[in-house]
Amino acid sequence: NAGVTQTPKFQVLKTGQSMTLQCAQDMNHEYMSWYRQDPGMGLRLIHYSVGAGITDQGEVPNGYNVSRSTTEDFPLRLLSAAPSQTSVYFCASGTSYSGANVLTFGAGSRLTVL
Amino acid sequence: GQNIDQPTEMTATEGAIVQINCTYQTSGFNGLFWYQQHAGEAPTFLSYNVLDGLEEKGRFSSFLSRSKGYSYLLLKELQMKDSASYLCATMDSNYQLIWGAGTKLIIKP
């Protein structure tokens, strides 16, 4: 049982390049999400999904796309990387705990855009 | 607006007790979470409070006062491995999480 697996762990891009951060979970969670974490700020939600075929925008969706073709996978695409997208990205999936959604996070992907 | 405040950094001594406070103002309220995050690692779930009062889990306890928009995480018998950031998050009326910036806890021998 691997939990939430993110790849790559580290990536350096040049401005304007595109890339995909991969996220897979083997816990059969319906809810999956992508966050970015920047120094001095709380985690910020980029996109989320409540099931296969369903995605929605979070707080900071601009410059990112997602899709959810299966329950297990939720890739995050950067369309044209910008230095402002330098951050640590976390994928998380959710399961119910006392009626609330408790998140299990992947190990993170550290992205640097030059 | 939506806002969560917690101290940026705290220092405590091994074996002691520390209380990390969190105050919040959010659009609707569907519970408050505490997560632990060691440096360079992923956040991990510690506790969830939706009703007023204290929830105890081993060395860690979490308290909530909805009328005051206030929570705290209490860590007892501190160990060096408790050195980490502690993230407070509330769930708003749309069941989305609003996160604080985290409190970095430094444990000294």
| Per-residue tens of pLDDT for chain B, all 109 residues | 678 999 999 999 999 999 999 999 988 888 999 999 999 999 999 999 999 999 999 999 999 999 999 999 999 999 999 999 999 999 988 778 899 999 999 999 9
Pairing of strands B103-108, B9-13: parallel
- Pick from A41, A99, A108: CB nearest B42: A108
Min Cα distance A40 → chain B (Å) is 6
Q: Whose structure tokens read 């997560």? A: B35
pLDDT digits (tens, 9 = 90+) for B16-44: 999 999 999 988 888 999 999 999 999 99
Residue A1 has pLDDT above 70, yes or no: no
Among the listed residues A43, A20, A40, A39, the one whose alpha carbon sits nearest the alpha carbon of residue A92 = A43
Question: Quick one: closest CA in A to B90, which residue?
Answer: A100
CB-based contact A42 B102, cutoff 8 Å: yes
Min Cα distance B5 → chain A (Å) is 10
Euclidean distance between CA atoms A5 and A64, whole angstroms? 19
In our burial notation (b when 16+ CB lie closer than 10 A, e otherwise), range B5-39 reads ebeeebebeeeeebebebbbebeebbbbbbbbbee
- Site from B93, B99, B104 to mutate, A interface, most A CB atoms within 10 angstroms: B99
CB-based contact B42 A58, cutoff 8 Å: no
Q: Please tell me whether the peptide bond between A8 and the residue prior to it is cis, using omega within 30 degrees of 0.
A: yes
- Pick from B35, B50, B102: CB nearest A100: B50
Residue A100 has pLDDT above 90, yes or no: no
Min Cα distance B97 → chain A (Å) is 8
pLDDT digits (tens, 9 = 90+) for A43-59: 999 999 989 999 999 99
